[in-house]
Structure 1
């Protein structure tokens, strides 16, 4: 083989090896597919796993978020209704009633039911309804527009409702093994709940930052069941733990996203 041919052959082999390495790297970092809960595979995962004591209480109290900005308070309402902390009185939200609703009913009849709602949760928090919808506020002398809830703001809201929490911000220093242990241990125990905050685009979905509770863990596929509170656009899904961690290890307004471990006192 002539020298030019040998050089061409070496260059071709080097190019092929580089392409193969890049393909392997892309495959390793590619977001794994999410499995819809309502699919045959999704239902089979729930049936076979034992790490699901939170599923029934959360599913029994589940509701969809009323607006695009309410994923945080909706999740808080579901968790509060599921855990029912005895240290706080369950509210009766009358915000959805109209004056004429009680016109023909006995005065002694109360139309509302004792239940935490998205509206009642917001009403008792530091963040106003207008701020949740993006009203500018002043923070450390700077005017900021901060719609929805950051994870730390939601943590403060849960604590104000007599819940015990442990907030974990998933940054570059947070070990994946520690995150995995926290999630799996919690999902194996009754009486406590995990709330996660992740970036949808980082897990293969369309949209921005999102908050929802976890309900189960399937060891065979190393995936968790997310009870997405925006089911009209994103139905409940089984998400690989590694994918969820990738979604949590993303930047929000002031710090990274993460998760909250919640229980009653």
Structure 2
């Protein structure tokens, strides 16, 4: 498939100006959802969710939507998705977010790739998986060019039937869904059997609302190549790991050393 960049590309760049008037606006308020996708809050979108809930294939919806996070930067779709999923998995980050509260925000995802580099370049599927593993998740990565629509659908069904994980993170090319932009990450929250649609909880909520996508179309969007990694896109299956995140382990060790009277170096911010 055509190679496209790894970044979310949700800034006001050339890709977002395609088809605009000669005097293109410098700012944007949302984007219209393509006709082949179904707005989560539209009448049909509500019917799809109601039927998926009744069928037991929207169990992932409530924990994910309760923690749905809008990405803080245009290229931070991978980070915003991880904040959503790690908090939905009830993982303790082991260090404070604000005040006394331990809760994931993008600024706590500090391993694998510097935040300023991620802000400029975005993240690959492997890098998002690395960040998830560093922060207390067990990760299974699947590259779409080595999978089939049937294997993706099976993983989606397993995920959407589980309220405590595994949760699926999709990495796909927006252009293949007739959206503006390029590479993107978002969690998947439900599957509607009769229409074979998946519910994408888009973390770029400033741009698109949560929406239903035909499963075959979403799979095709994941088979596109990421020029940053030289591989196809795909999906991650995330569960809560048996052991805590490495920052939590570091803080626990520091506390124990302090109890023993040993000198302790301050952990990184």
Q: TM-score category by the smaller chain? A: 0.7 to 0.9
CA contact (8 A) 2:73 2:119 kept: no
Q: 2:196 aligns with which of 222, 241, 244?
A: 222
In structure 1, list runs of 5 or more residues that go unmatched: 1-30, 95-110, 135-146
In structure 2, what is the equivalent of residue 131 of structure 1?
Answer: 117
- Give me the whole-angstrom Cα distance separating, in 2, the residues matched to 1:236 and 1:112: 32
Cα drift, residue 118 of structure 1: 1.2
CA contact (8 A) 2:111 2:134 kept: yes
- Give me the whole-angstrom Cα distance separating, in 1, the residues matched to 2:208 and 2:44: 17
Does 2:88 align with 1:82? Answer: yes
In structure 2, what is the equivalent of residue 118 of structure 1?
Answer: 106
In structure 1, what is the equivalent of residue 232 of structure 2?
Answer: 256
Deviations, residues 83-124 of structure 1 (Å, cap 9, x unaligned): 1235x52x3224xxxxxxxxxxxxxxxx45321001112xx2
Cα drift, residue 32 of structure 1: 7.6
Cα drift, residue 259 of structure 1: 0.1
**Could you tell me the TM-score, scaled by structure 1's length?**
0.73
In structure 2, what is the equivalent of residue 163 of structure 1?
Answer: 137
Determine which structure has more spread, i.e. the larger CA radius of gyration.
Answer: 1
Cα drift, residue 63 of structure 1: 1.5
Deviations, residues 194-241 of structure 1 (Å, cap 9, x unaligned): 000000001111111000000111001100100000111111100000
**Could you tell me the TM-score, scaled by structure 2's length?**
0.72
In structure 2, what is the equivalent of residue 178 of structure 1?
Answer: 151
Q: 1:40 aligns with which of 32, 40, 43?
A: 43
- Give me the whole-angstrom Cα distance separating, in 2, the residues matched to 1:188 and 1:218: 11
- Give me the whole-angstrom Cα distance separating, in 2, the residues matched to 1:73 and 1:163: 14
- Give me the whole-angstrom Cα distance separating, in 1, the residues matched to 2:152 and 2:88: 24
- Give me the whole-angstrom Cα distance separating, in 1, the residues matched to 2:77 and 2:86: 14
In structure 2, what is the equivalent of residue 233 of structure 1?
Answer: 207
- Give me the whole-angstrom Cα distance separating, in 1, the residues matched to 2:237 and 2:168: 5
Cα drift, residue 130 of structure 1: 2.1
Q: Which has the higher contact order (CA 8 A, sep 6+)?
A: 2
In structure 2, what is the equivalent of residue 55 of structure 1?
Answer: 61
Deviations, residues 175-206 of structure 1 (Å, cap 9, x unaligned): 22112111112211221100000000011111
CA-atom RMSD, angstroms?
Answer: 1.6
